[in-house]
């Protein structure tokens, strides 16, 4: 138990010592960071980030990598910072994260973070301006390759930048390739301090050329860079750490700020090295540049009153004396870095900035100088600008040639000097396309002259109107990524229109051709259509008549067949019925083709037609059969002998038939069932050549009444 307690005490003491050691390392890392000794700070913060991460550790580690241009490593920790500590995070970190994203060509993510950055701004116009700059940068990109660039052979894995021509030489800032054991190192990035060096212009593309110190009398144990010379070559301005009598001086934060010094060439030596009067130990003044008339000195500084971390300033030079420096204002300067100014002979101010929207980190921008005004800066474009730092630009306005520095991929290491030639003018235009075509007659396909072509936007606002000439052609210049309506009109013609939705392809020609129909052609067509319709109707009418006739014939034939079938059926039924009746009724007999009711002879007195008493009994049998068969219809046929004249006999027979009919009707038979017909002497049973040739008995046989059944 005692051993366990002793062990717990040892672990507790060790833990306290470990925590104290970490606190000491954190404090030490913070001191390095505050002094801008970022290389030393990274070592400590990296260890703390692995063992004991916190918002401060991650933030300072990310910034240390950012300030030493290790942007890919910085990206990782900015991502952690924003992902884990975004609630109380300064908006500036979205901007820095965006710069690291651009360094890896993650431009969509970079722009998304820039939108987040500007959305958190107190100034609502910042987001609007960002959108405008995004479009401007897209227009600059669309120009394409504006420069031919070449990495100089004199570059080394260390930094070289700030190249300017001096007589037949190139003067620039550089560090030794193989620093000695006791050379001081710049604790910002662990390189040795910069010196002004020189090489003959003719040797700048020779890898084995020897580089010399520009002026040993100017060399110190501090940074010397960015030299600029007067045209007579007797005065120079350059950047150096704050110093006095060759010794570095620091501010109360132990930081040695940069200052601009002036030197004069006397008997081949640069002497009278003096600090400019607006220098201060409390802020940096750097990167001198002279106006073409040498009456204005431009420089970068973070002096009080600056808009951003570094701004571009100008100061008038009057007979060697300097006026009060002036900030160039918000058109040039942003709340970020604006550095490395250069004034060209054709009245343009070039400078590098990461506050104006660019391709990543520092980009070179140009502003037209109009009297005392500086117009809105524009990114100088590709491929001079890259996704990393591009700076220290200068150009000969006549030859369009010059130098700049960059730490882009593909260089020899760190910052390299590039030689360039401008091959294309900086003409910034919004993306445009063309809607062009020909207005034609739809039927003849000939071009239409004096047709009106109307261009409208998606809200039907009229943008332009054109009247076609003899060739019927038209063309409109329009913006990309928009919808337009093209309409065409001409007297005595129909109208036509189409809607075109454009993409972002620059200078694309979209076909807006339209075809109109003449009213005359339409009338002719309508007339022809009407005629064709009438002809078709006639054809249809004739066809319908034929169909109706055929249908009538078919119906008639059908009816005929039906009737014939009915007749046959009726005949069959009749025959069956007749057969049945003949079998049942002995008084009904067939006489050849006729069916008759066979009765005893009915006699009439000579020359009379009244029914005799004995005849009534005979007729009673006929009445009986007709009542038995209600459908039976009969014809009473009355015949006479041949004696007497023919007309008399016909009248007499009709009267006898009628008399017989009347008797049957009176006996209860429907009159419609009985037909009376007198045949006279026309149908004799025995034909008598003369009245005397037949006996009385034969005459009596001819004088008879017959009951022919017409229907059963």
Residue 9 — very low, low, confident or very high, per pLDDT cuts 50/70/90?
Answer: very low
- pLDDT tens per residue, range 232-279: 999 999 999 876 655 555 655 556 789 999 999 999 999 999 999 999
User: Which residues are bridge partners to 674 per DSSP?
Assistant: 634
pLDDT of residue 178: 52
Is the pLDDT at 185 greater than 60? The verdict is no
- pLDDT tens per residue, range 218-232: 988 888 999 999 999
- pLDDT tens per residue, range 53-110: 999 999 999 999 999 889 999 999 999 999 998 888 999 999 999 999 999 999 999 9
Residue 606 — very low, low, confident or very high, per pLDDT cuts 50/70/90?
Answer: low
Backbone torsions φ then ψ of 129, nearest 5 degrees: -65, -35
Q: Rounded distance, CA 222 to CA 244, Å?
A: 11
* pLDDT: which is higher, 633 or 712: 633
pLDDT of residue 283: 95
pLDDT of residue 180: 47
Other beta carbons within 10 Å of 104: 14
Averaged pLDDT for residues 345-354: 97
- pLDDT tens per residue, range 460-476: 999 999 999 999 999 99
Residue 369 — very low, low, confident or very high, per pLDDT cuts 50/70/90?
Answer: very high
pLDDT of residue 255: 66
Compute CA distances 309 → 88, 252, 283, 304, whole Å: 22, 19, 11, 10
Those residues with Cβ within 8 angstroms of residue 481's Cβ, 6 or more apart along the chain or in another chain: 431, 502, 503, 504
* pLDDT: which is higher, 119 or 423: 423
Averaged pLDDT for residues 281-288: 95
pLDDT of residue 488: 97
- pLDDT tens per residue, range 122-136: 888 999 999 999 999
Query: By C-alpha distance, which of 50, 45, 48, 21 is closest to 34?
Result: 45
Q: Rounded distance, CA 332 to CA 347, Å?
A: 15
pLDDT of residue 347: 96
- pLDDT tens per residue, range 632-686: 999 999 888 888 888 888 888 899 989 989 999 999 999 999 999 999 888 888 8
Residue 213: its H or E element: strand 212-213
DSSP 481-515: S-EEEEEEE-TTB--EEEEEE--S-TTPEEE--EE
What pTM value is reported for the model? 0.70
Averaged pLDDT for residues 358-385: 96
Residue 126: its H or E element: helix 125-143
pLDDT of residue 191: 57
pLDDT of residue 332: 98
pLDDT of residue 14: 41
Q: Poorest-confidence range of 231-235, 319-323, 615-619?
A: 615-619
Averaged pLDDT for residues 184-192: 50
Burial of 203 by CB count in 10 Å (0-12 exposed, 13-18 middle, 19+ buried)?
A: middle
Average pLDDT, the chain: 89
Q: Poorest-confidence range of 303-312, 368-377, 603-612?
A: 603-612
pLDDT of residue 182: 40
Averaged pLDDT for residues 282-302: 97
- CA atoms within a 13 Å half-sphere pointing along the CA-CB vector of 545: 5
DSSP 31-96: HHHHTT-HHHHHHHHHHHHHHS--HHHHHHHHHHHHHTT-HHHHHHHHHHHHHHH-TT--THHHHH
Query: Residue 678: helix, strand or coil by DSSP?
Result: strand
- pLDDT tens per residue, range 138-184: 999 999 999 999 999 999 999 999 999 999 999 999 986 554 444 44
Q: Rounded distance, CA 438 to CA 420, Å?
A: 46
pLDDT of residue 569: 79
pLDDT of residue 21: 66
Token pair of 142, please? Answer: 């669309």
Is the pLDDT at 434 greater than 50? The verdict is yes
Residue 560 — very low, low, confident or very high, per pLDDT cuts 50/70/90?
Answer: confident
pLDDT of residue 20: 63
pLDDT of residue 221: 80
Backbone torsions φ then ψ of 474, nearest 5 degrees: -150, 160
Residue 496 — very low, low, confident or very high, per pLDDT cuts 50/70/90?
Answer: very high
Is the pLDDT at 444 greater than 80? The verdict is yes
Q: Chain centroid to CA 478: how far? A: 17
pLDDT of residue 580: 84
Q: Rounded distance, CA 296 to CA 316, Å?
A: 5
pLDDT of residue 337: 96
pLDDT of residue 576: 82
Encode burial over 372-382: b for 16+ CB neighbours within 10 A, e otherwise.
Answer: eebeebbbbbb
Q: Poorest-confidence range of 142-156, 276-290, 339-353, 587-601?
A: 587-601
């Amino acid at each position: 138990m005692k051993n366990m307690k002793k062990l717990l005490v040892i672990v507790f003491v060790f833990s306290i010592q470990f925590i104290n050691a970490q606190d000491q390392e954190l404090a030490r890392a913070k001191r390095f960071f505050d002094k801008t000794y970022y290389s030393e700070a990274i070592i400590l913060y990296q260890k703390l980030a692995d063992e004991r991460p916190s918002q401060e550790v991650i933030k300072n580690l990310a910034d240390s990598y950012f300030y030493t241009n290790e942007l890919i490593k910085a990206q990782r920790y900015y991502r952690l910072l924003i992902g884990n500590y975004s609630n109380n995070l300064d908006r500036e970190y979205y901007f820095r994260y965006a710069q690291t994203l651009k360094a890896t060509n993650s431009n969509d993510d970079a722009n998304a973070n820039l939108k987040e950055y500007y959305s958190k701004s107190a100034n609502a116009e910042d987001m609007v301006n960002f959108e405008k700059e995004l479009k401007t940068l897209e227009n600059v990109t669309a120009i394409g390759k504006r420069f031919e660039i070449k990495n100089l052979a004199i570059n080394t894995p260390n930094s070289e930048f700030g190249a300017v021509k001096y007589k037949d030489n190139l003067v620039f800032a550089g560090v030794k390739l193989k620093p000695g054991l006791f050379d001081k190192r710049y604790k910002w990035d662990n390189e040795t301090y910069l010196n002004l060096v020189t090489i003959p212009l003719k040797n700048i593309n020779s890898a084995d050329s020897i580089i010399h110190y520009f002026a040993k009398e100017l060399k110190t144990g501090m940074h010397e860079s960015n030299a600029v010379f007067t045209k007579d070559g007797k005065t120079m301005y350059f950047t150096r750490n704050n110093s006095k009598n060759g010794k570095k001086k620091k501010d109360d934060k132990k930081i040695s700020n940069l200052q601009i010094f002036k030197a004069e060439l006397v008997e081949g030596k640069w002497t009278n090295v003096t600090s400019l009067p607006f220098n201060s130990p409390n802020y940096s003044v750097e990167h001198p540049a002279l106006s073409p008339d040498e009456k204005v000195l431009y420089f970068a500084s973070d002096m009080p009153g600056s808009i951003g971390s570094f701004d571009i300033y100008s100061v008038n030079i009057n007979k060697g004396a300097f006026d009060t420096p002036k900030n160039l204002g918000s058109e040039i300067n942003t709340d970020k870095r604006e550095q490395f100014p250069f004034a060209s002979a054709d009245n343009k101010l070039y400078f590098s900035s990461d506050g104006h929207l660019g391709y990543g980190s520092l980009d070179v921008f140009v502003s037209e100088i109009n009297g005392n005004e500086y117009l809105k800066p524009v990114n100088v474009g590709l491929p001079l600008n890259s996704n990393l730092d591009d700076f220290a630009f200068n150009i000969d306005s006549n030859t369009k040639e010059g130098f700049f520095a960059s730490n882009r991929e593909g260089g020899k290491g760190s910052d390299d000097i590039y030689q360039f030639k401008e091959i294309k003018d900086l003409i910034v235009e919004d993306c445009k396309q063309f809607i062009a075509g020909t207005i034609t007659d739809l039927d003849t396909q000939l071009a239409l002259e004096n047709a009106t072509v109307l261009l409208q936007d998606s809200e039907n606002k009229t943008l332009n109107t054109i009247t076609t000439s003899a060739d019927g052609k038209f063309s409109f210049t329009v913006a990309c990524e928009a919808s337009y309506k093209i309409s065409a009109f001409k007297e005595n013609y129909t109208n036509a229109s189409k809607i075109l939705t454009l993409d972002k392809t620059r200078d694309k020609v979209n076909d807006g051709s339209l075809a109109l129909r003449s009213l005359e052609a339409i009338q002719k067509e309508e007339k022809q259509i009407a005629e064709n319709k009438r002809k078709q109707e006639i054809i249809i009418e004739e066809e319908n008549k034929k169909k109706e006739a055929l249908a009538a014939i078919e119906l008639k034939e059908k009816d005929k067949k039906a009737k014939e079938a009915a007749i046959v059926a009726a005949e069959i039924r009749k025959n069956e019925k007749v057969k049945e009746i003949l079998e049942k009724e002995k008084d009904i007999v067939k006489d050849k083709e006729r069916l008759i009711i066979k009765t005893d002879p009915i006699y009439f007195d000579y020359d009379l037609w009244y029914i005799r008493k004995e005849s009534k009994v005979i007729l009673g049998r006929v009445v009986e059969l007709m009542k038995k068969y209600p459908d039976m219809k009969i014809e009473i046929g009355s015949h006479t002998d041949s004696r007497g004249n023919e007309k008399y006999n016909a009248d007499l027979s009709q009267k006898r038939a009628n008399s017989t009919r009347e008797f049957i009707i009176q006996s209860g038979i429907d009159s419609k069932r009985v037909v009376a017909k007198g045949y006279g002497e026309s149908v004799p049973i025995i034909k008598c050549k003369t009245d005397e040739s037949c006996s009385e008995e034969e005459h009596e046989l001819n004088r008879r009444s017959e009951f022919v059944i017409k229907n059963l």
